[in-house]
Amino acid sequence: MRILLLGGSKSGGSECISGKSGLAQRLARDLSEGNSLYYWATMEPTDEEDRARIRRHLADRAGWGFQTVERGRDLPGALHRLDSKGSVLLDSVTALLANEMFDSKVHDGAPAVVTRDLLRLSGSVANLVCVCDDVFRDAGRYDPVTEQYRRGLAQICRALAAEFDVTCEVMLGMPKAYRGENWLRKAGLL
């Protein structure tokens, strides 16, 4: 099973909590059916706010049975650590693209690299739940580099949505299905 969860982001001190991370944790755990359960953390912390978010996520998933894989780029380099029957929650596509795209310079090919790596990860495990911040649909105008990032993130999400079984937007912990509505209904989520 391949699931893409989109939702609002919490940044800049805002309190936009979509509930996508909590839903992703429940889905990954339920899909694992007792097999290996992984939390693939992609954030490379740069400040205290990032470190606080990481601490909060660690506390949120304490006792759930997740093995943490911390890798913010070059996903294929850690695939050997995964059980092919396992379930992976990758949080987040948003951070993964930022890591690949912004280094000492802007890497134009980053969206294609991230898409390729995520599809490879998807084929390496029994279940994959990807979390992505929905930062590409507002009407705001941003500087050219930010727009390039937003377009890249949208490109990745379109590619994943075309390949994954379920794609939904999460608002206040409730999914709105774009693809896979029947599965979500059978799972009792709609």
The helix (H) or strand (E) run that includes residue 178 is strand 174-179
Q: What pLDDT was estimated at residue 136? A: 81
How do the pLDDT tens digits run along the chain, 190 residues long?
A: 999 999 987 654 444 578 898 899 999 999 999 999 999 999 999 999 989 988 988 898 999 999 999 999 999 999 999 999 999 999 999 999 999 999 888 899 999 999 999 999 999 999 999 999 998 877 788 999 999 999 999 999 999 999 999 999 999 889 999 999 999 999 998 8
> For position 25, what pLDDT does the model report?
94
SS3 187: coil
Any idea which residue has 């695939």 for tokens? 79
- Supply the Cα-derived Rg of the chain in whole angstroms: 16
CATH assignment, 2-174: 3.40.50.300
| Angle, vertex CA 160, rays to CA 119 and CA 114, nearest 5 | 55
Say which residues have a Cβ less than 8 Å from residue 76's Cβ, sequence separation at least 6. 117, 120, 121
Q: Which residue in 17, 54, 21, 27 sits closest to 127, CA to CA? A: 27
Domain residue spans of the chain: 2-174
Name the strand (E) or helix (H) holding 38: strand 37-41
Is the CB of residue 68 less than 8 Å from the CB of residue 25? Answer: no
What's the CA gap between 119 and 123, in Å, rounded?
6
Strand order in the sheet with 127-133: 67-70, 37-41, 87-91, 127-133, 2-7, 166-171, 174-179
The pLDDT value given to residue 88: 99
CA atoms within 13 A on the CB side of 125: 34
Supply the pLDDT for residue 24: 95
